[in-house]
Structure formats: C-alpha cells, structure tokens
Structure 1
C-alpha cells in the first residue's frame, strides 16, 4: 500500500530522500504555497501533507481542515516540539531517517482512522474505557423557541458543584448567550472566545484555560464559568475545532464540563477553494458530536413538542448516532390540561421517537423569575422548590436527601 505525500516548499532534498528510500511513501505533488497544498488535501489527493519548515506551517484553522480530511500533517524542523496538541500532526527532526518517518506516519494514519470509526459510534466500549479516567462532557440542547435549556444547564451545573464535583460550564450559544445574565455577571470579555485564543496559541495548559473562566462561589462550592458572547456578531471568534480541544483539556482536569449550545444545526455549503468558509452553527454541531451525554430540553406544550420532533429529525440528518435524553420542561396543567404527565406520555408515545425520557421539570414561573431577577441559581433563591429537586434528579440525587439551607454566593 502506497502513501501519497504532498510536499510544501522547494526543498528538493526532501523529495529526493523520499523517492530514493523506495518505501511506502510516494510524492504525488510538490506545492510552493500552503493554499495549493490544502486544496489538494481537500480533494483527497494526499494521505500526508509534509511541510519542510515552520515558516510554511498554515494557521491552526487550516491545520484542523487538513486533519479533518484524515490527512497527516508532518512538520520537518530542526527543533521539533513534543507537546503538540493537534491529533494527526507530527513534528519531527528534519534529519530523521525515512524508515522512522514512515513508521510514524503509518501510526498516525491508523490513529486518525480509528478516531473516525469511534466518531461514527462503532466502538462505544473503547470510547467508554478511554474516558473512564477523565471527566464527563454533558451538553444541553433543544429546539428553537426558548424551551429553557440555559436555565436547566446552569442549575444542573450548580447542583453538581454542590455535591462536590469540580464543574465548568461553557456558554457556547453563538446566538443568544445568557449564562452570565442569569448569574448577574457584568462580563464583556467573552471567556468562550478567550478559550479559543489560548488553544490557537498552541497551549493546552489547564491553568491558562481555567484562568479565562470566572469562579462563582455557591455556598462551599466553586463553579467555573466560561461566559458567552455579549454580542452575537462576534460568533467568528468561537471556532468549533478550537472549542472542542479546549473542552477536551478541561474534561481531563474536571469532573464535569457542562455545555449550553444554540438550537440551529444547518451548515452552509463549504467553499471548495483554498480555505473553508466559517460556519456559525459548527459550534453546536461539534459540541453535540463530542459530548458524552446530550440532554434535549423540550417545552411541554402544544408548540414546543412539534418543534422538538422536527428538531430531532433534523439532528438525525445532520449528526446521526447522537443518543438524546429527553427532558420535558415547563410541565403544568396550564399547558397540557389535567394529568399533564399522562397526557404528555400519550402524545410522545404516539408521535415521538424512541429516545429515553430523563425527567420531567415542573413549570415554576415564580422561582425562575425570582432567580433571574436576583441573578442567582435556584439553590440560592428557591432551595426548597420542586423544580430544583427535579433538576437534582437529573444528576441522580434523590429527593429524600437532606435539603441545603439558603446559600450565599461570591464571585472571583
């Protein structure tokens, strides 16, 4: 089996070494600039993109585009770094023998193919074993129309922190971020964009990433908050691939990473030129793909349920294989009539898909409005509310446990 190589740069010595070695590596094209090389990778010409100099290395966004095509990027450098953060990228000594280079390339190609298979859900057991020593990524998503996913996500994260877990919540809604508003934080820095900038700088130090987040104290617990975009027009600052790597690092050093994402999933057509067009909804798509658990928050009324059913169909078209856990929110007699849970189950059994139902959350307008007005979670404003107990149930916390007293909060 031959491995096609596209070489960037006018380093004739590298080409002669590959051709003279007569191994599996085979030079198929030599490009003078990186744009031409990336275009070749995009059409599937290359298995390996070999860059003969750090000054020719493309920006991080284009590196992500290359590796997403299952193409290994190899950088030849006199002083290669060993702390690379991009899966599928190799930094090797320019004087490395071709035999060793070939072995590294073959191993990198196998890893990329294995990751692609795991991404399609064909080896869930291997994924579970790999994640056993790290934290969990939980994503809250829902159909358009304010089903209450941000409120549920925030209070879910707070309750997890109160039982002793180290928790980071990321407001990844590129349309209407609201976590900072619900916590009463006057923040214009957009921690979510800062996370991406730190990752794009080549660092994966957890201390640097967590330094971009705000620390919110609720009682004896500390919740780390990555605030969202204060203006929706800043969405290009949050790149899906960079945010995916940031959440991966945070997951390795925390028990729980909670994501609040926007509703839309559709992507524009990719440009088939030198680079790819930025995608506003790519953040939602990428976060749903990389999460361990996905809660879909559904407004339990005659408008929210049809919207949810259409959104589930759209999700199956765009991201097949995502295992949703349905959370019915705003459940009450005013929305569904008498015996709301029974009526809801009858409707869902008749029209809904076969996704499991994780819980039912009551409509508690008084407590939610009071919490929003005070800029606080339910644990501070309404610690004995039924809604808070039901959200704790999503975490597996039994309602019979001793209730916590009213809590105070500090921000650091």
Structure 2
C-alpha cells in the first residue's frame, strides 16, 4: 500500500522527533514530505502539491484560522495532533475548526498507530471545517440581519442604524456591525470619534481562534444599554485585514449572542474569484457576500428615484441567489415626488411588481431635515426626530423585524 504523503507542523509537541523517526521507517503508513517550522513554511510546502494532508500541532507558530482556510484552498486536508492530556492544545485546534487526535507520546508505536488510524478515517480528515465535531458550545441564541443596498448611496447605513436602534427600543439586545469595506460611516453617524476599529479587532480574535461572544461584546462600543456598535475600518485600504475565514467566525459568534445582530453589509455583490487567478488573495467583497450568506434575514434598500430603482432591480437577482430562499424585505428609501411626479409610490410599486416580483415593500418618506439633524448631532432618529414620518415607518418595520428575528 502506498504511504500517504503528509506535511508535519508540530514543533513543540512532546516526542515529536521520535514520532518523525518512527514515521520514516520502511513500511510506515505515511511519508513525511516536510517538517514545517511555522505556518508560512507549511503554506509554502502545501503549494507544492506534494502532500494531501497537513498534520499540525497547537504550538505551530503563526497558526491561524486563515492558515486552515488556505490549506483547504490548496486541497490539503488538515488533522490536528495534541499530546494526551493537553486539553488547552486540543481546545486551541478545535477553535480553529481543526479535527484533533490525541497521541500518547510516551509510547511512540501506539502514537503512530493512532495517527495512522485517524488519517485513514475519511470522517476525520475528509470533511470541511464547518462540519467538524466540536465540544459542546452555546447554541445559537440570536439572529443575524444583513442590510444591503446597491451602489449609489440609497441610504443603507441610515436605514441600518435606525432599524438597529428601534429594535433595541423594543427591549431586544442589539449589535450593529459596520461591514462596509468601501467607506463605512456608522461611527460618523453615531458620533463615535475614536479611531478604534471594532471589526478588525474582532477578526483578529477570530483568526487566532479566540473570538467568543464576550470578546465580540468587548470589541463593540455601547450606544445605549441595549445597543452596541462594532465600528468599521477607518480607511478603505484596510479591507484586506478582514479575511473570509475570520468573517465567517465573526458571523457565527454574533448569532450565538442573545438578541439581534444588524450588519451594514456594503453594496458590492461581485465575486472577486471571477477575475482573480489566485483565490487565496483576500477578497474585498467577501465581507458583503459572507454577511448576506450568513444572515437569517436580509433587508434590501433601494433609493426612491428612477436611477435608484434601476440599480436595485438589476442587482436584486444576485441578492436572491446569495439569500438562497431566506426572507428578503425591500425598503424603498427617500420616497419623494420630485424625480417621479405625482403618485411616486404607485409608480415605484408598479415597477417593483412588474420587474422584480416585489409586492410588499416598505416605503420610507424622504425627510432630509431629520436625517441632517441626526448626522449633525451624531444621534439616531428616535433621539432627535421622534415625530419624523421616516422614523414612524422605520420604527414600525423594526418591530416587525424583531418579531421575525425572534422566530427565525
């Protein structure tokens, strides 16, 4: 039987030199193609295509969630090894979604048999990270709402902030995440003036396998007792710090928190893989796409004018494709007679029904003065424009959304 070629990245594992010696004996079930000193070395060896499996230990320097994701992109499966009794090491690997086998390193022959058995088990190394068995964790307690809108500033951020604030006023704990990688402005709208980047801090924790609900809450800023905000990247050129694997963990963690997480998801639905030959490269639009894919509910925001409707109707099929059957609520923002003349709502309603199959949109009247006041004061509609007609519509919709989210 042909020996299985593996990469070994387990520096610091007790008995690792003896294990390597045993694995290089004639007739051994595996062939160690390379002993890797850190994650960079491991990824370089994986790119050579000489190995099918990477066996890694918890002390591998620079090991992160992105390492595991990139190994997968090279079609290299991952198995974690930890010394028997090393619960800290096992936990670290499991937090990175890596299946783990314990090795009794005081008996090298037994350790080799245990490793060979695990490598021969397709259930151990033939599954994707999201299906790896974990120790019992908190069940999903909350829900995720992604707020999307097409290019052209339809008011996605103002709608997202208003919905998050109004949901929190229903007594539901609410977390708002700014995930716009092209120009997020949630912090500016809410008067958060420091340079702390909450989403980068959360993604760094996720990449290290350390993000949990407490860590995500710590990365957020309190607006009210029920309303917290994870601020976005302060400069658009920092988008590469938000890696797909870390974002996936971020959304999973947000859904484990009680209440509702509202994500300002940006606008671009273009799949970067369509034009990038190297899919290991960080993808700018992965933030939007991953948020929509992870959401329980999607709020799609359109601008109430001819240009805004054209852009929205053109992009809506892509949103539906990503949503894969999950509910999408359409919000027509800044509804006004100016660009359309009389009966603007009727004209838009007819266009949505005819061209997009949308029959139950929420229509938010244009109230520029109220939103200007909010921006000037760094406060929400409920705080500085309680009687705004826009606030009335958004508050009613938020109550409906809170009910839907509680049952999703």
| Rounded Cα–Cα distance in structure 1 between residues aligned with 2:26 and 2:219 | 44
Relative to structure 1, the CA distance from residue 59 to residue 343 in structure 2 (aligned partners, 3 Å threshold; closer, same or farther) is same
| Cα distance change of structure 1 residues 102 and 18 upon mapping to structure 2, 3 Å threshold | farther
- 1:39 correspondence with 2:42: no
- Does the aligned pair in 2 maintain the 1:214–1:225 contact within 8 Å? yes
CA distance in 2, matches of 1:279, 1:349: 34
Equivalent residue in structure 2 for 1:112, among 128, 133, 140: 128
Task: Give a deviation string over 1:19-73, Cα, whole Å, max 9, x none.
Answer: 656xxxx7696575413443267x9x73x43236733674432212234678642
TM-score normalised by structure 2 residue count: 0.78
Question: 1:98/1:384 Cα in 2 relative to 1: closer, same or farther (>3 Å)?
Answer: farther
1:214-225 paired onto structure 2 within 5 Å: 214-217=221-224, 221-225=225-229
Whole-Å separation in 2 of the counterparts to 1:284 and 1:321: 15
Q: Structure 2 matches for 1:299-338, cutoff 5 A?
A: 299-315=303-319, 319=322, 321=324, 323=326, 324-338=328-342
2:46 and 2:74 in contact (8 A); partners too = no
Once residues 100 and 191 of structure 1 are traced to their aligned partners in structure 2, the CA distance between those partners, rounded to angstroms, is: 40
1:102-128 superposed Cα distances (whole Å, 9 cap, x missing partner)? 469544457638859xxxxxxxxxxxx
Count, aligned residues: 370
Shift in CA distance, 206/91, structure 1 to aligned 2, threshold 3 Å: farther
Distance 1:251 1:364, change over 3 A: same
Checking the alignment, whether the CA contact within 8 Å between 1:371 and 1:377 is kept in structure 2 is: yes
Contact 2:63/2:208, CA 8 A, preserved across alignment: no
- Select the residue among 172, 191, 194 that pairs with 1:165: 172
What is the aligned partner in structure 1 of residue 388 from structure 2? 385
Q: Normalising to structure 1: TM-score of the pair?
A: 0.77
Deviations 1:139-174 (A, max 9, x none): 001100100110010111111111111111111111
Please state how far the C-alpha of 1:294 moved relative to its aligned partner. Answer: 1.1
Instruction: Note the alpha carbon deviations across 1:336-394, whole angstroms, 9 max, x for none.
Output: 32222221121122222x35645221111121111111111011111122211211232
Structure 1 counterpart of 2:150: 143
Aligned residues of 2:161 and 2:380 also touching (Cα < 8 A)? yes
Q: Which residue number in structure 2 is paired with residue 276 of structure 1? A: 280
Q: Which runs of 5+ in 1 are unaligned?
A: 117-129, 399-412
Question: What secondary structure does 1:380 align onto?
Answer: helix
Alignment of 1:5-404 (within 5 A): 6-8=6-8, 12-13=20-21, 15=23, 33-39=41-47, 46=52, 48-51=53-56, 54-55=59-60, 58-67=63-72, 72-78=77-83, 79=86, 80-83=89-92, 84-90=94-100, 92-93=102-103, 95=105, 96=111, 98=113, 102=117, 106-108=122-124, 112=128, 133-217=140-224, 221-266=225-270, 267-268=272-273, 269-272=275-278, 276-315=280-319, 319=322, 321=324, 323=326, 324-352=328-356, 354=357, 357-397=360-400
Provide closer, same or farther for how the CA distance between residues 239 and 133 of structure 1 changes in structure 2, counting only shifts above 3 A.
closer
| Most deviating of 80-89 and 224-233 | 80-89
Contact 1:206 1:253 in 2 (8 A): yes
Unaligned runs of 5+ in 2: 10-16, 106-110, 402-408
Give the secondary structure class of the aligned counterpart of 1:61: helix
Q: CA RMSD in A?
A: 3.5
**Higher mean Cα deviation, 333-342 or 222-231?**
333-342
Query: Matched residue of 2:206: which SS?
Result: helix
